Amino acid sequence: MALKLFNTLTRSVQEFKPLDAGGKKVGMYCCGPTVYDFAHIGNWRTFVFADLVRRTLEFSGNDVTHVMNITDVEDKIIKRVRETQTTLREFTGKFEAAFLDDLKALGCREPHQKPRATESIAEIIALIEKLIARGIAYQANDGSVYFSIAKYQGCGCHYGQLLKLNLDEMRAGERVASDEYEKESIADFALWKARVPDDGDVFWPSPFGAGRPGWHIECSAMSIKALGETFDLHLGGEDLKFPHHEDEIAQSEGATGKPFVKFWLHGAHLLVEGRKMSKSLGNFFTLRDLLAKGFTGREVRYLLLTAHYRETFNFTLDGLHGAKTALARIDECVGKLRELAGGVTAAPESGLPEQFSAALADDLNISAAWGAVFKWVSAANKRLAENSMNAPAAAAALAAWEKVDSVLGVGVNSEAEIPAEISALAAERTAAKKAKDFKRADAIRDELKAKGWVIEDTPKGIKLKKN
Ligand code: AMP
Ligand code: ZN
């Protein structure tokens, strides 16, 4: 079934067709984290959305190259490095490692390439040199190199492909040096920032003098290096449309003279309890904050995957409790199917995967996709209760679930989700029972209960379930 997606470039839902002549290979670039702090739940919405896009394409048989950069040098990072008196690599390394751990905890497939900006300086410089050679970039009196919007437009290119911008309000010659700025200040933006004392040790030599790259040119250079001058998909949160993505298009198309990206996908933002997240409002959560409250990565993933990517999502702790209940329904059904199937395997039954893929093909209609899953759970539960399912039928139902879960990635509550401390207690209880020390075994059962876990003895061994 043809996959349709909303392309910000054309402001419409369009059929997605890979550029690859064979129709299989897809190049996908998602702007990665700025590693100056732990990623928050809003950031995670965007990265889980990117994972959904990738998994949907893979489900449809595409061979995806997923690239996610690590922004490890930009204004905010330099400020923090200065404040904390660390080195750039020491500072960013800690947050990069935490980011990759969280990505795993959320069940996201690891991107095939994760280029760091600091390791792409040669490509960044080469791209700036191309822009200078084409007369689109210039070195200003402050020593920094800027992108000239007027020269770019003069070459017949269009600035403002993603957003409607009022270029008449732009005053010729105005420049902006910082990485982040508002639409009101459309201006020539910095490609290479000349070294200043505040940068400390963070600088590289270049033909334009010592300095460091601007944030926007980093993504142009890294995406072109990984995926070529023209590629299929570029993703990010909606806040990146301007200036980041608009500037990426301008730099890339200005340097290569070719269309940069065919499809731009933007995920809407996440609010917490109806408000913009902020540390001062006390509604700012990292994934770690939520894990410390006893939620799991799959519960957070499930919740983030319940809303359509183009709708603002209101994240609440109540919603996370709801995610726990919803996943428990799936776990219970899948657990029963596993038991009934025993060791039998079968090809997936067709109903669920067909309904599920039709829903996703419709601009990732995730509500309809979950609707198909829960309808299937109800039907399977009914058949199980009526004893009208045999082992091959259970195996076929299970295979269908596994197929759709290759996209959802919520799996089934498994050992991996059981903390080591809980598994150790359960093993101790089994040993106590074996040694006929029932007092100790009961005490461990109570201790597990107090920690939120129920232990059940089944003919196949023990089963641990969350309360
Ligand atoms: P950053 O690390 O700040 O560069 O952001 C990483 C990604 O998170 C970008 O794609 C942003 O657009 C996205 N993002 C930032 N805040 C939110 C939010 N509240 N909701 C959804 N995505 C967000
Ligand atoms: Zn980017």
pLDDT of 204-245, one tens digit each?
999 999 999 999 999 999 999 999 999 999 999 999 999 999
The verdict on the CB of residue 148 being under 6 Å from ligand 1 is no
How many beta carbons lie within 10 A of that of residue 390, not counting itself? 11
Residue 417 has pLDDT above 60, yes or no: no
Residue 459 has pLDDT above 50, yes or no: yes
The verdict on the CB of residue 56 being under 6 Å from ligand 1 is no
Q: What is the arithmetic mean of pLDDT over 382-389? A: 96
Q: With pLDDT > 90 as the criterion, what percentage of the chain qualifies?
A: 83
Tell me the sheet residues that pair with 157.
none
314 neighbors 277 (Cβ within 8 angstroms): no
- The 3 state secondary structure assigned to 214-242 is CHHHHHHHHHHHHHCCCEEEEEEEHHHHH
Over residues 134-169, the pLDDT tens digits come to 999 999 999 999 999 999 999 889 999 998 887 777
State residue 110's pLDDT score. Answer: 96
The verdict on the CB of residue 45 being under 6 Å from ligand 1 is yes
State residue 282's pLDDT score. Answer: 80
The verdict on the CB of residue 161 being under 6 Å from ligand 1 is no
State residue 415's pLDDT score. Answer: 47
The verdict on the CB of residue 239 being under 6 Å from ligand 1 is yes
Judging by DSSP bridges, how do beta strands 137-139 and 270-272 pair with one another? unpaired
State residue 195's pLDDT score. Answer: 97
Atom of ligand 1 at shortest distance to CA of 35?
Answer: 2
DSSP 154-178: HTT--S-SSS---GGGPPTT-EE-S
Near ion ligand 2, which residues have CB within 5 Å? 31, 219
What are the residue boundaries of the structural domains of the chain, listed by start? 19-271, 325-413, 416-466
The verdict on the CB of residue 241 being under 6 Å from ligand 1 is no
State residue 452's pLDDT score. Answer: 81
CATH of 19-271, one of 3.40.720.10, 3.40.50.2300, 3.30.56.10, 3.40.50.620: 3.40.50.620
Q: pLDDT class for 416, splitting at 50, 70, 90?
A: very low
Atom of ligand 1 at shortest distance to CA of 237?
Answer: 12
Q: What is the arithmetic mean of pLDDT over 390-398? A: 96
CATH of domain 325-413: 1.20.120.640
To test ligand 1's pocket by mutation, which of 28, 43, 240, 283 has the most ligand atoms within 8 angstroms of CB? 43
Atom of ligand 1 at shortest distance to CA of 277?
Answer: 19
Q: Which of 355-359, 360-364, 428-432 has the lowest mean pLDDT?
A: 428-432
Residue 13 has pLDDT above 90, yes or no: yes
106 neighbors 297 (Cβ within 8 angstroms): yes
In 105-223, the DSSP E strands lie at: 137-139, 145-147, 175-176, 188-194, 211-213
Spatial distance between the Cα atoms of 456 and 356, rounded to a whole number of angstroms: 33
The verdict on the CB of residue 332 being under 6 Å from ligand 1 is no
Which residue puts its alpha carbon closest to atom 11 of ligand 1?
A: 237
CA quadruple 15, 18, 23, 26: dihedral, nearest 10? -130
39 neighbors 304 (Cβ within 8 angstroms): no
The verdict on the CB of residue 34 being under 6 Å from ligand 1 is yes
Atom of ligand 1 at shortest distance to CA of 30?
Answer: 10
Which residue puts its alpha carbon closest to atom 14 of ligand 1?
A: 43
Residue 460 has pLDDT above 70, yes or no: no
Q: Which ligand is nearest to the CA of 239?
A: 1
State residue 353's pLDDT score. Answer: 97
Q: Which ligand is nearest to the CA of 236?
A: 1
DSSP 278-293: -GGGT---BHHHHHHT
The verdict on the CB of residue 42 being under 6 Å from ligand 1 is yes
Over residues 45-99, the pLDDT tens digits come to 999 999 999 999 999 999 999 999 999 999 999 999 999 999 999 999 999 999 9
Which residue puts its alpha carbon closest to atom 9 of ligand 1?
A: 237
